[in-house]
Amino acid sequence: MTAEKEESFEKSIVRLEKIVEDMESGDLDLDKMIAKFEEGQALIKLCNKKLNEVEKKVEVLVKKGESITTEEIDSDD
Protein backbone atom coordinates (compact mmCIF):
# COMPACT_ATOMS: atom_id res chain seq x y z
CA MET A 1 0.00 0.00 0.00
CA THR A 2 1.39 3.37 -0.95
CA ALA A 3 0.85 6.69 0.77
CA GLU A 4 -0.83 8.03 -2.37
CA LYS A 5 -3.53 5.39 -2.13
CA GLU A 6 -4.62 5.69 1.47
CA GLU A 7 -7.78 3.77 2.19
CA SER A 8 -10.54 4.90 4.48
CA PHE A 9 -10.35 3.89 8.12
CA GLU A 10 -13.26 1.51 7.70
CA LYS A 11 -11.77 -0.20 4.63
CA SER A 12 -8.46 -0.53 6.45
CA ILE A 13 -10.15 -2.24 9.40
CA VAL A 14 -11.97 -4.66 7.08
CA ARG A 15 -8.67 -5.43 5.34
CA LEU A 16 -6.94 -5.99 8.70
CA GLU A 17 -9.67 -8.43 9.72
CA LYS A 18 -9.15 -10.35 6.46
CA ILE A 19 -5.39 -10.43 7.01
CA VAL A 20 -5.87 -11.85 10.52
CA GLU A 21 -8.29 -14.45 9.16
CA ASP A 22 -5.81 -15.46 6.44
CA MET A 23 -2.93 -15.68 8.90
CA GLU A 24 -4.93 -17.72 11.40
CA SER A 25 -6.01 -20.18 8.72
CA GLY A 26 -2.56 -21.76 8.63
CA ASP A 27 -2.73 -22.08 4.84
CA LEU A 28 -0.02 -19.52 4.05
CA ASP A 29 3.62 -20.25 3.47
CA LEU A 30 6.22 -18.25 5.39
CA ASP A 31 6.82 -15.67 2.63
CA LYS A 32 3.10 -14.94 2.26
CA MET A 33 2.71 -14.81 6.04
CA ILE A 34 5.48 -12.21 6.29
CA ALA A 35 3.94 -10.18 3.46
CA LYS A 36 0.55 -10.22 5.22
CA PHE A 37 2.20 -9.21 8.49
CA GLU A 38 3.95 -6.26 6.82
CA GLU A 39 0.72 -5.17 5.14
CA GLY A 40 -1.05 -5.40 8.48
CA GLN A 41 1.59 -3.27 10.17
CA ALA A 42 1.20 -0.59 7.48
CA LEU A 43 -2.58 -0.62 7.92
CA ILE A 44 -2.27 -0.35 11.70
CA LYS A 45 0.02 2.65 11.28
CA LEU A 46 -2.50 4.25 8.91
CA CYS A 47 -5.41 3.62 11.29
CA ASN A 48 -3.50 5.04 14.25
CA LYS A 49 -2.64 8.14 12.21
CA LYS A 50 -6.28 8.66 11.28
CA LEU A 51 -7.43 8.13 14.87
CA ASN A 52 -4.91 10.69 16.12
CA GLU A 53 -6.11 13.20 13.51
CA VAL A 54 -9.72 12.71 14.55
CA GLU A 55 -8.82 13.06 18.23
CA LYS A 56 -7.15 16.42 17.51
CA LYS A 57 -10.22 17.60 15.59
CA VAL A 58 -12.50 16.63 18.47
CA GLU A 59 -10.29 18.53 20.93
CA VAL A 60 -10.44 21.63 18.71
CA LEU A 61 -14.22 21.39 18.48
CA VAL A 62 -14.50 21.04 22.26
CA LYS A 63 -12.25 24.09 22.75
CA LYS A 64 -14.42 26.11 20.36
CA GLY A 65 -17.42 25.32 22.54
CA GLU A 66 -15.95 27.69 25.20
CA SER A 67 -15.53 25.07 27.89
CA ILE A 68 -12.34 23.09 27.57
CA THR A 69 -12.96 19.57 28.73
CA THR A 70 -11.37 16.31 27.83
CA GLU A 71 -13.44 13.21 28.26
CA GLU A 72 -12.02 9.74 28.10
CA ILE A 73 -13.73 7.67 25.44
CA ASP A 74 -14.56 4.18 26.63
CA SER A 75 -13.59 1.72 23.89
CA ASP A 76 -14.76 -1.77 24.72
CA ASP A 77 -13.97 -3.08 21.23
Residue 69 binned pLDDT confidence (cut-offs 50, 70, 90): low
Q: CA-to-CA distance for 9 and 48, rounded, in angstroms?
A: 9
DSSP state of 70: -
Q: CA-to-CA distance for 24 and 48, rounded, in angstroms?
A: 23
pLDDT at residue 4 in the model = 40
pLDDT in tens, 29-40: 999 999 999 999
| Angle (CA) 66 51 75, round 5° | 85
Q: CA-to-CA distance for 73 and 45, rounded, in angstroms?
A: 20
Domains of the chain: 8-64 (1.10.287)
Q: CA-to-CA distance for 17 and 11, rounded, in angstroms?
A: 10
Give the predicted TM-score (pTM) of the model. 0.67
